[in-house]
């Protein structure tokens, strides 16, 4: 996640009559924004906004950038700044868990201007990849002298069942114009999003989208032995998957490797004392279905717990439901919540 920072490149648009291409121009720069994953959140929570940052949770992003425009004229071979315009743009994008079509709102602030920075006009467009088409609604050609509000609507082609679309970003492109000056432009990108219909079937469409770099979490609360086993590991210093300062786990879609991970840590048969109390099912942590599963982590960062078969089945159902709701795919980061 980050911004594509582009200084004003020479535009293909012809310079106004009587003005040399290099004599008068608009030069544009955008503030550098760093990506930041927000706290774990529900599907309805909006990401918070911080200046010159892209903040994301699983289904929401807020991108807030600053833009600077110099109005320049070349005098005796040297550029002279005749005026400036400074403003910011705040984007709030909200994805949908049950649709591959979604929307975004953005606000262009009133510019602070000096000299001939007043009266600069702006046009805004957007492009995307992965089969998603963004459409911008904005009063194109308006000046930066007042607040401007706009929207971007996203439409995606139908996604076949069991399919995951490529990750994509929105690239926002700004073109600035002012009578007597050559146009200037700048572009930057949104956070990365991804749409899928992985859990869909011929009878049920389960398309939806998420920000894959934003971790989600699955709860083991209520699964007594499994919850207890993970808590004991964390008490001994095991920190993977711990939402309270630990490193995230990463989901793996590979049944063959999942089986190898489980076999690497789980004995074929439960110990006699566990059999006597009906705890014959081996539960491994980190999960065999994660890239940290099996013996990929040091012994002090993993554990197994013997549980009753029904508890392991309940865990499986819970994980499946969580993955579907949160659109968790291969290599997505996640945490595990315990009591």
Give me the torsion for CA of 144, 119, 126, 3, rounded to 10°.
Answer: -70
For the segment 290-306, the average pLDDT, to the nearest whole number, is 98
- Report the percentage of the chain scoring pLDDT > 70: 89
For the segment 229-233, the average pLDDT, to the nearest whole number, is 98
Say what angle helices 309-326 and 224-235 make with each other, to 10 degrees.
80
pLDDT of residue 43: 54
Beta bridge partners of 194: 210
**Contact indicator for 300, 237 with CB cutoff of 8 Å:** yes
**Domain coordinates of the chain in residue numbers?**
24-196, 216-337
Alpha-carbon torsion 222, 223, 228, 233, what sign?
negative
CA geometry: angle at 150 spanning 213 and 81, to 5°? 95
The secondary structure of residue 175, as a DSSP letter, is E
pLDDT of residue 46: 80
For the segment 311-319, the average pLDDT, to the nearest whole number, is 97
pLDDT of residue 2: 21
For the segment 93-111, the average pLDDT, to the nearest whole number, is 97
* Distance in angstroms (rounded) separating the CA atoms of residues 130 and 210: 13
pLDDT of residue 31: 78
pLDDT of residue 30: 84
**Contact indicator for 251, 95 with CB cutoff of 8 Å:** no
Beta strands in 128-230 (DSSP E): 132-137, 142-143, 148-156, 171-178, 181-189, 194-196, 208-210, 216-219
pLDDT of residue 76: 86
pLDDT at 182 over 50: yes
* Distance in angstroms (rounded) separating the CA atoms of residues 84 and 68: 7
The reply to whether omega before 286 is within 30° of 0 (cis) is yes
For the segment 173-189, the average pLDDT, to the nearest whole number, is 95
Tokens read off for 212: 């894959």
Kindly report the length of the chain: 339
User: Tokens 């930041």 belong to which residue?
Assistant: 36
Give 29-62 pLDDT, tens digit per residue: 887 555 555 555 555 568 888 888 999 999 999 9
Give 58-81 pLDDT, tens digit per residue: 999 999 999 999 999 988 889 899
State how beta strands 121-127 and 102-108 pair. Answer: unpaired
φ and ψ at 155, to 5 degrees?
-120, 130
Please, which residues have CB within 8 angstroms of residue 207's CB and are 6 or more apart in sequence?
98, 99, 100, 156, 158, 159, 195, 196, 197, 200
Output the average pLDDT for the chain.
90
**Contact indicator for 254, 260 with CB cutoff of 8 Å:** no
pLDDT of residue 26: 85
**Helix ranges restricted to H, the chain:** 224-235, 255-265, 272-276, 309-326
Helix (H, G, I), strand (E, B) or coil at 333: strand
For the segment 274-294, the average pLDDT, to the nearest whole number, is 98
φ and ψ at 275, to 5 degrees?
-60, -40
* Distance in angstroms (rounded) separating the CA atoms of residues 244 and 175: 44
* Distance in angstroms (rounded) separating the CA atoms of residues 102 and 95: 6
pLDDT at 188 over 60: yes
For the segment 158-183, the average pLDDT, to the nearest whole number, is 96
pLDDT of residue 77: 85
């Amino acid at each position: 996640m980050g911004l594509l920072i582009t200084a004003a490149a020479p535009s293909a648009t012809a310079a106004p009559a009587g003005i040399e291409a290099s004599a008068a121009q608009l030069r544009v720069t955008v503030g550098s924004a760093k990506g930041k994953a927000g706290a774990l959140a529900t599907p309805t929570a909006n990401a918070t906004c911080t200046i010159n940052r892209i903040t994301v949770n699983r289904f929401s992003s807020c991108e807030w950038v600053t833009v600077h425009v110099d109005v320049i004229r070349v005098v005796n071979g040297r550029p002279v700044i005749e005026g400036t315009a400074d403003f910011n743009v705040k984007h709030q994008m909200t994805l949908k868990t049950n649709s591959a079509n979604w929307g975004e709102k953005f606000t262009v602030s009133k510019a602070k201007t000096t000299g001939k920075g007043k009266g600069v006009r702006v046009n805004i467009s957007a492009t995307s990849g992965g089969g998603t088409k963004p459409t911008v609604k904005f009063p194109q050609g308006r000046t930066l002298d007042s607040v401007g509000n706009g929207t971007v609507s996203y439409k995606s082609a139908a996604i076949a069942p069991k399919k995951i679309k490529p990750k994509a970003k929105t690239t926002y492109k700004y073109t600035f114009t002012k009578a007597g000056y050559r146009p200037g432009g700048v572009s930057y990108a949104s956070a990365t999003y991804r749409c899928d219909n992985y859990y869909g079937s011929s009878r049920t469409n389960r398309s939806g989208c998420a920000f894959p770099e934003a971790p989600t979490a699955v709860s083991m609360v209520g699964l007594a032995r499994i919850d207890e086993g993970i808590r004991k590991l964390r008490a001994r210093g095991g920190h993977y998957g711990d939402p309270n300062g630990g490193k995230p786990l990463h989901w793996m879609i590979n049944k063959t490797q999942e089986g190898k991970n489980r076999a690497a840590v789980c004995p074929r048969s439960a110990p006699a004392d566990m059999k006597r109390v009906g705890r014959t099912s081996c539960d491994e942590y980190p999960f065999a279905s994660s890239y940290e599963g099996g013996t990929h982590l040091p012994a002090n960062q993993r554990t197994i717990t013997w549980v009753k078969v029904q508890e392991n089945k309940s865990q499986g159902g819970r994980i499946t439901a969580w993955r579907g709701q949160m659109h968790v795919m291969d290599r997505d980061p996640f945490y595990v919540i315990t009591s």
